[in-house]
Amino acid sequence: MTAQKNRGLGRGLDAIFGTTNPTQQSKPMSEMAEIAIADIEPNPLQPRSMFDEEALKELSESIAQLGVIQPITLKRRNDGRYTIISGERRWRAAQMAGVDRLPAYIREVEDEDLHAMALVENIQRQDLNAIEIALGMQRLIEECGLTQEAMAEKVGKKRSTVSNYMRLLALPSEVQLALKEGIISMGHAKAIAGLDGELQLKALKRCIKKSLSVRQAEMLAKKMSEKARNINTEVEDEYPESYSRLVVEFERVLSENIAIKRTKSGSCRITIECANDTEVDKLIAKLGKIK
């Protein structure tokens, strides 16, 4: 179980930011203290953007009964106040519980590494959704002038993993929202990202409507991509307007995915696409109602 928990990052924060260098051990990199909540402010670059209100309420009730068990991590500012590196959820819940002070690790960290530490600690705890992770990586790349390779080294991820996260930000807002809300998974989003433009939204709708698994989404994306390539490479006469009307009429009656292909000889083939056996049964039932 321990090995699985560590797979997400691969290394601890000390290794990433060099705080375990033997030559630095004479200079403490952190200290423990009780800090007034009024002196603590959230990190404006916090990668986490969503906080479940119900979960916060439950944590608040726990804190009211038992106190804050796990210290938060702070950076001391020049004005004597503190910025949260990790633990904003505990800070919010403690405020709801009416707690005045919080146990905290005070970390000595440069401003340029503040956001990196917040991102890495959130990833370690699996507190972020895929879009929040991608946005956090994008901020690090832009604000710290990192390459994707350097970004991968910074957070202990593979270069391909960073690339996959960054590709999510190029997806339509509808796909990003579905991923952020947990309607689809990272695997679904990766499959959709492999498609071009308008096909991405079509694939999203199919994934949601059909409750496709990741494997099924990958197969769908492959099929849609191959179909698009075939259409683009076919050298055929323009279809008569009647063909378009025929497809519209079929879809009006059957509400299924209809495709029509016309050969050079003038013959045509009509395809009704069903995702599984259940869809076939539904189609049979619909056909039975047509009089």
The enclosing domain of 226 has a CATH number of: 1.10.10.2830
Q: Are residues 156 and 16 in the same domain?
A: yes
Q: Are residues 205 and 275 in the same domain?
A: no
Residue 236 in tokens: 């055929």
Residue ending a domain, choose from 168, 196, 215: 168
Residues listed for the chain: 291
Q: Are residues 6 and 148 in the same domain?
A: yes
The per-residue pLDDT for 171 is 93
Q: What is the CATH number of the domain that holds 39?
A: 3.90.1530.10
Q: Are strands 40-41 and 82-86 parallel, antiparallel or unpaired?
A: parallel
Which of 88, 218, 236, 251 is catalytic? The answer is 88
Give the whole-angstrom CA distance, residue 47 versus residue 176: 15
Q: Are residues 177 and 282 in the same domain?
A: no
The per-residue pLDDT for 198 is 85
Q: Are residues 41 and 102 in the same domain?
A: yes
The per-residue pLDDT for 191 is 93
Clarify whether 249 is annotated catalytic.
no
Q: Are residues 189 and 265 in the same domain?
A: no
Q: Are residues 227 and 243 in the same domain?
A: no
Residue 219: how many CB atoms within 10 A of its CB? 14
Residue ranges in the chain modelled with pLDDT below 70: 1-30, 45-50, 110-113, 115, 118, 121-127, 231-241, 243-244, 247, 251-258, 263-266, 290-291
pTM over 0.75: no
Task: Write the CB contacts of 63 (distance below 8 Å, at least 6 apart in sequence).
Answer: 90, 93, 94, 97, 99
DSSP string for residues in 10-28 = SS-HHHHHTTT-GGGTTS-
The per-residue pLDDT for 242 is 74
What is the residue range of 204's domain? 173-232
The per-residue pLDDT for 236 is 46
